[in-house]
Structures are given as C-alpha cells and as structure tokens.
Amino acid sequence: MIILSLQLSKALPRHSDKCLLPPSLLQTTIDETPELPHPLVYHLNDGASSIAVGVKEFTAEEGTVCVPQFIFEKLKGHTVTVSLADVPKATFLQLKPAQFYPHITNWKYYLESQLSKNYTTLTKHKLFVIDDPLAKTAVDIIVEDANAPTVVVVDTDTILDVLPLNDIMAAQQLGQNDAISALENIPTFHESGVLEVVPFNQSPVPKLFKIDLRKVKESFSLVLRSENINEAYNVDLLVALDKFVKLDNFAFETMSQDSAASHTDKRIDININSDLIVNHLEKFKEEDACELYAAVFAWDHNAKVKLEMVPFTKGDKLVKENGTSNETKCSNCGKSIEKSKLPLHEAFCSRNNVRCSCGSTFFKEIPSSHWHCEKCDPLLAGESTLFKFKHDRLVHSGPYRCEDCDSTSEYSDFISLVKNHKSTKCPSKLHECMFCHLIVSQEEETYEDRFTNLTHHENQCGNKTTECFECNRVFKRKDLKSHMQMHYMDKVELNTETVRLCANENCVSIVNDDSNDLGLCDTCYGPLYATVLDPTRIKLQNRIERRYVLQLTKGCGNVWCQNPQCATATSPRPMKEVIQHVQSELLLLVVTPELPITRKKGVKSDANKFYFCLTESLQKRKELVDRLVDDGQYSRDMVLRAVNRSRDEDSAREWLLKNGLPLR
C-alpha cells in the first residue's frame, strides 16, 4: 500500500473514474506483481470508504493522485491509501436510465461508444453519469445488477440488458432489436423476381442487399425498375459503404433522378476505378470481403420493383431512343408514331389530348395535381403532391447544416449534405469498428486518420495492443492482420514441403537428413547397428540378409504384423527359395551405401527400400495415417507430420486443424 495526497484535476472529465497516478506506483506494481492484470484497477481508501478506479495515465507528480470531480466528491480525506485491486470483468450488466432520453435511440450502440471512454469499473446499485457532448446534456444511469458487486467494463464480452423506463422506451427497444437482427443477416444480392418494398418509416431497416466488390470484375450499374410506370417517384435506391444505410447515410442515390419520372428505370453507376471505391477496397484489403450495401425503399405507400445488376457499358442508356426510321413524332403529344398511322392518330389526339407547356400530355384536361418547378432548369413537372414535397425538400429547402455535430459548413441541398458530410466525416456517424467490432461513432478525424484510411476511433482502437494466439507476441491491432498473413504464408510453405520418410516401406516415421546411411528411422535401424569396422560393407550386408531370412522363414511372431515380406503375415517359405529371393531381389534394393552384391551385379535403383517388420507402436501409427488420409481432408505429407508430432489421434487432428490447409 502507498499513501498519496488527493488532488482534484480539472483536466480530467467531470464524470469519470480514470485517475492520474505517479510513475513510481507503476514501477512498484510491476515489481510486486509478476503478471499484471489488464486493465489496471486500484482501490483508493480514505479511511471511511474505498473506491475502485481506473488509470488514465501514470503522469501525476510523485506523492499525489489526481482524480476527477466524480471521485473527489466521494472521498472525504486529504490523503488516500492506494492498493492494486482484483476486480472481475463484467459478463452480465443490467442498467436502467434515470429518465427518458429521446436522443438515444439505440442504447447498445450508445453505451458501446460512450461507456468505456471514461469508466473502467461500475458498482452495483450505484449511479454513473455520461456527459454527452453532442446532446449537450448529462445521461444518468443506474447499475441495477451485475455478475459481481464491482466489475470491469473495459475489454470484456458482456451480456447487456437495458431496462426500459416506460412503454415508449420498451417499444423503442423492440424496434432496435429487430433492426440489429436484420443488420446481422443481410442477404447477398442476387437478381430475382419482383420485390415488394415498404416506406422507410414503416420498417426497422429497409430492404437491404450486400455486394462483395472483390467478386466484381468490372464497373456495373444497379437498375431499379418500378412495376407501375406512373409511380417511379415513389421508390428509390440508396447505396452506402457500410450497412447503416439511411436517408442521412448514403454514397450513391437515385432521388435526384426524378426529372425522368415518366420512365420506370432509375440507375446507379458504380465505377470500380473511382477514388471512393478504390479507397474502400484498400481499407478492407486484408478482410475476407469488401462490401457495398444497397437499400430499396418506398416513400408514401408499398410498391413493387425489380433490382438488377448490369455491366456498366450495357446500362448507360436506359431510356429508349425516340422512334425508328419508320416513325415520326406527333405534333401534339410528341409520341413516335408509324408514318402510315400518323394522320389518323393526329386527328384523334388533337380532339382529345391537351398538351401542357412542360411537354406532358393529358386526356381532355390538365389535372389539378399537375405541377411545375420553376426553379429547375430544365423545367421539372410531376403529378403527385408527394413528388413535389420530396423534390422541394431535397433540392430547394437549403441551405442545410448538420444537426448532429458542431460543423458550421452549409450545403445547398440535402443530398450534398449527406454525401459530403453526414456519410463521410461527421463525428457522430455510426460505424462498425474493424478492430473491436463495436458499433460506435467514428469521432472527429485528424490528418493521421486520413493518411491511414481509418476513422479516428479505428485509428485509436487499432493502436491498442493484442497478443497473437499463434506465437504469443504482442502487436498493435492494426498490424495483427499483416502478422497473421505471415503465419498463413508459413502454413502454405509447410503444406507444400515434401517429407522424407523412413526407407522401410512399411514404416511411417519421418527421418532427418543427418540420419544413418541407410535412411532408416532409429527404430528400424536399431537391429542393424554395429560398431565393428566394415569398410567393404560385407558385414552390413550379412546383417540385412540374416534379418530378411528370419522374417521369411520363421516370421516376427507379432499378431499385428502386416508385412508382405514376413512369414507371420503370409506363410513360411523354403530356405532355398528365401535365400534366392533375398539375394536376387531384396538386397538389390539397397543402393546407399553400396553393398558388395549390388556392386557385383551392377544393379542401380533410385533409393533404398526395405521391408522390415514394425513394432506395435509403429504399426498403430501407420494405421492412424491410413485413417486420416482416407478422410480426404489433408495431404498425406501433412498427415505424416501430424502423426509423428502427436501422441494420439485427437492431438493429431488438433495439429492438422491448426497447421493444415484443407484439400480443395
């Protein structure tokens, strides 16, 4: 225990439990604790009460501890005793807001982004406060229950339960749960039949599809076709770089294409060589996939549409050309009519159709719902009040300013606001961190963040260290993917190397280059080993010949033997036949070192081959190799490595799972 002077720090957030401690305390902790816990938690005891606190930095002056206002108000003394605390990590946390906060629509995302910034521990039945800089208010939350009286909330997997304050919040949470479930199960885009879409505000998430850019070889167009030719303005398509596709988060849209409302087709062109797509691919180059997310939705009422993906070169003209060489335009309605039928058509058209100054043609009279936008050039016209409201809201209600952050930039229309700010660099924009996989705000970016092609949160999160489960070395999170790629390359190299087996054809033991001259494993070579001088190799030849003769005449006597050159596995043979077989066939398979009989007959083979009987352990190992090879999952060489490194079948399969590459 160390006694320190208590000081209030104005530099620390008011509501926090992270303190500034002196460097000597860290050194003392290291000396007294062989394995440091993570994160470090200390008890501050003033004699009357004890509080668990986290560590902001070890930069306080010696003999002092600097605490935030939240902690300072709980401790009454001028000095405190500091000791290392053993606090369990939170596995279950039940929280309840002290009042209704309308700006928090998703408590899970909110707490993931705000809680661990200022708090290391939480205590059961105690109130903690989060200062929300965007809402400019304080959020009071009570810890209703936890898996321990005091728990650590940093770097832990926690089951979070937020108790609703009232029926409104309960309904809101149910909607959030549906939205989270939908976002976790987004289907891959496949061209299909007619889709029925609902208005954006009638579903927790729109009809979403994901497109893996790694599988796309060329630029493409997403074409949205409305089944009702007169209601193309009622459906739209949004494409974003992340799955949180909303009316204030998209990179591509069809809402600005309403000038072609008389046509059923709307289109988004995706150029895979554009800076936006190239940067997106570069950011996720080490991930399994790099995806775009497309959302189809309606505005006013349900609609039926078809969504298609077409090559960019084929989708550049969706509006049919005006007429053919056999057609000409009607002077009244402007439609292309066959020349032979034009007089009859014009006679009927001039009596029954009325043409507006905008070029639209109506039967008998111009309806009252028909409108023009005089601010647009060329002139825009429509037949629906929804269409007019949508057009005025998106295009002519500016200037727009982001209401979620302190940005003072103004944008002439809503689409520019979203594309240039809300979906790109707005600090409050939600995104899924590629390192911690939490859904948090991306925060204010810096020049370093832009250089690394990461959000501010991802850059800070990626600078945290983690341990490689393969080699136990410590790396930054942002460098771990590259490091794991090196492990993968090592695995590829291991899977392509050929093993050198024992020269005994019945054996499955792996031998090294510095093994005995015969290329046998230690078990198979043992009976042949001798210390006598044998420059001509005649004594070695005699030992090999004697071993073969005994095998073929008397057998090894082992019930497990399956050696085709053994009397136990086959049947005894006459001595004369055995000697002839050994000298004319088996001994000639030994080429290194050269035996006298091989030298005399001048027979050469590629490598040594022996047919010796196996011990019981080697026979079981051989049977295990055959079983694993028959599974067809891994190459024979990898199976041989696994069996030679392992004690039993379970450990061999575990080694293969870790180091082997499955056969394709």
Residue-level pLDDT at 376: 77
Helix (H) / strand (E) element for 292: namely strand 291-298
For 590-631, the pLDDT digits (tens) are 998 989 998 888 766 778 999 999 999 999 999 999 999 999
Q: Above pLDDT 70, what percent of the chain?
A: 95
Rounded Cα gap, residues 516 and 195, in angstroms: 73
Residue-level pLDDT at 387: 77
Residue-level pLDDT at 318: 43
Rounded Cα gap, residues 500 and 608, in angstroms: 12
- Does 379 have pLDDT greater than 90? no
Rounded Cα gap, residues 57 and 72, in angstroms: 17
pLDDT band for 233, please (50, 70, 90 cuts): confident
Beta strands in 68-120 (DSSP E): 79-84, 92-97
- Does 25 have pLDDT greater than 80? yes
Residue-level pLDDT at 332: 78
- Does 115 have pLDDT greater than 60? yes
Residue-level pLDDT at 59: 93
Residue-level pLDDT at 291: 93
Q: Any idea of the CA torsion for 191, 193, 198, 200, to the nearest 10 degrees?
A: 10
Residue-level pLDDT at 209: 93
Rounded Cα gap, residues 644 and 170, in angstroms: 59
- Does 249 have pLDDT greater than 70? yes
Q: Among 72-86, 129-143, 186-200, which range has the highest average pLDDT? A: 72-86
- Does 451 have pLDDT greater than 50? yes
Report the mean per-residue pLDDT for the chain.
Answer: 87
Token pair of 176 as six digits: 């959030």
Strand partners of residue 223: 267, 308
Nearest CA-CA partner of 119 in 135, 106, 131 = 131
Rounded Cα gap, residues 325 and 327, in angstroms: 6
C-beta separation of 121 from 41 below 8 A: yes
For 129-180, the pLDDT digits (tens) are 998 766 677 899 999 999 999 999 988 888 888 888 777 777 777 777 777 7
Residue-level pLDDT at 264: 66
Could you tell me which residues come within 8 angstroms of residue 188 by beta carbon, excluding any fewer than 6 positions away? 209, 210, 211, 212
Residue-level pLDDT at 316: 47
Token pair of 623 as six digits: 């049977």
Nearest CA-CA partner of 143 in 117, 119, 167, 109 = 119
For 272-313, the pLDDT digits (tens) are 999 999 999 999 988 888 999 999 998 888 888 999 998 876
Rounded Cα gap, residues 369 and 375, in angstroms: 18
Higher pLDDT, 264 or 463: 463
Q: Among 52-56, 366-370, 514-518, which range has the highest average pLDDT? A: 52-56
For 545-585, the pLDDT digits (tens) are 999 999 999 999 999 999 999 999 999 999 999 999 999 99
Give the relative orientation of helices 167-183 and 107-118 as an angle to the nearest 10 degrees.
90
Residue-level pLDDT at 516: 87
Helix (H) / strand (E) element for 552: namely helix 538-553
Residue-level pLDDT at 322: 47
C-beta separation of 323 from 329 below 8 A: yes
- Does 263 have pLDDT greater than 60? no
Burial 357-394 (b: 16+ CB within 10 A, else e): eeebeeeeeeeeeebebeeeeeebbbbbeebbebbeeb
Backbone φ/ψ region at 352: left (φ over 0), alpha (ψ -120 to 50), beta: alpha
C-beta separation of 394 from 413 below 8 A: yes
Higher pLDDT, 606 or 213: 213
For 503-512, the pLDDT digits (tens) are 999 999 999 8
619 DSSP 8-state letter: H
Rounded Cα gap, residues 81 and 29, in angstroms: 14
C-beta separation of 150 from 122 below 8 A: yes
Higher pLDDT, 455 or 1: 455
- Does 360 have pLDDT greater than 50? yes
- Does 465 have pLDDT greater than 70? yes
Higher pLDDT, 404 or 526: 526
Higher pLDDT, 458 or 373: 458
